[in-house]
Amino acid sequence: MISHKLVAQSGYSCEPRRYCAQIGSCEEAQWYLHNCSWGQRLDRDGDGKVCETLC
């Protein structure tokens, strides 16, 4: 479970994003990958690189 402190410090929340186009930066995409239950969906080909168009 994610602490409220972590969310507040980052400015991000785990509100689901379906597409990388809904994410503003590589840093943000990485945060979702590591902190949100749905974050793995942003790595569609499973190579460990999230939102390859951003990163």
pLDDT reported for residue 28: 93
Would you state the pLDDT for residue 11? 82
SS3 39: helix
* Residue 36: predicted pLDDT: 94
At 1-55, the pLDDT tens digits run 444 444 545 688 998 888 999 999 999 999 999 999 999 999 989 998 999 999 9
Angle (nearest 5°) at CA 30 between 29 and 32: 65
Give the dihedral sign, CA 20/18/13/22.
positive
pLDDT of 22 reads: 93
pLDDT value at residue 9: 56
End-to-end CA separation in angstroms for the chain: 26
Amino acid symbol at 38: W
